[in-house]
Amino acid sequence: MVEGKSYRRRLVAAHLVLWMFILLVMFPLVMVVTISFRKGNFSTGSLLLTPETFSMEHWRMVLGLSVQQADGTWEAASAPVLRWFWNSVKISSISAFLILLLSSTCAYAFARMKFRGRDNLLGALLILQMFPMVLAIIAIYAILETLGRWVPAIGLDTHAGLILAYLGGIATHIWIIKGYFDSLPISLEESAAMDGASAWQTFWMIMLPTSLPIFAIVFILSFIGMIGEYPLASVVLQQTRNWTLAVGANSFLYEQNYLWGDFAATAVLSGLPITILFLACQKLLVSGLTAGGVKE
């Protein structure tokens, strides 16, 4: 009886801690959503929405609809937010796909193939990841500027140039996928080789279907990192129509006036593709994080 009461107390305490943690995490989200539906561009005041404070003006601007001004007139949206949104989704999706393609093939080579300098290359990749990409902005800017003189399509102020710069950060993903490949039994590939399968056929028909959970995780992590990236995108992309959502949202924060309502609505919009992606890949994520590789 005493042990039962002690267990129930611990269970209640654990639930209270979890609820407090959930409330702590949800509070900033609720604040941002509330500000996006409040009149004006002020973040102060009560978070409770009332008929007097509720307004769709920020969302009308984000969706490209005309917005009513203080004098009662209607004007077109001042910023192409939906264009920025499309730019972000396009750049993030292409970058994540190319990162997954390059890192998975590299990881397979490091995990299964023996070649000279293999261990040294793995160590070099790990050391390179110690330096964040933001420290290489000057070098990336110079490289893209030089490339743009010969091939304008991948130079500065191009989405292709930004994607090319993003592909330089695949070392961490190579290590993640390699660790998953190492946990897979090599007997799968040996059996395929005995049946006459080539290295590429083994990768495409055996390793790829088996490793879908870790591929989903790497794709989502890459997508999240790219869609919210600001420092490099703000340097590479110069024209307003080429901006991503992160760069465009920062333009609402003037030194003279912070447009918190417009900024909050843009921030909520940026979270939609991430949420949809998580829901679409939920089963793969769960199996990838809990099951691990196939065991003997």
pLDDT at 212: 85
CA nearest 168: which of 236, 238, 268, 264? 236
pLDDT value at 88 more than 60: yes
CA-to-CA separations, 98 to 33, 165, 223, in angstroms, rounded: 33, 12, 11
Round to whole Å and give the CA distance between 125 and 230. Answer: 24
What pTM was estimated for this model as a whole? 0.84
pLDDT value at 65 more than 70: yes
CA nearest 206: which of 237, 176, 230, 181? 181
Q: Tens of pLDDT along 172-209? A: 899 889 888 888 888 877 787 787 777 778 778 888 88
Residue range 90-252+277-290, CATH number: 1.10.3720.10
Helix (H), strand (E) at residue 142: helix 137-150
Q: At 258, give phi and psi (nearest 5°).
A: -90, 115
pLDDT value at 137 more than 80: yes
Round to whole Å and give the CA distance between 145 and 141. Answer: 6
Round to whole Å and give the CA distance between 106 and 125. Answer: 11
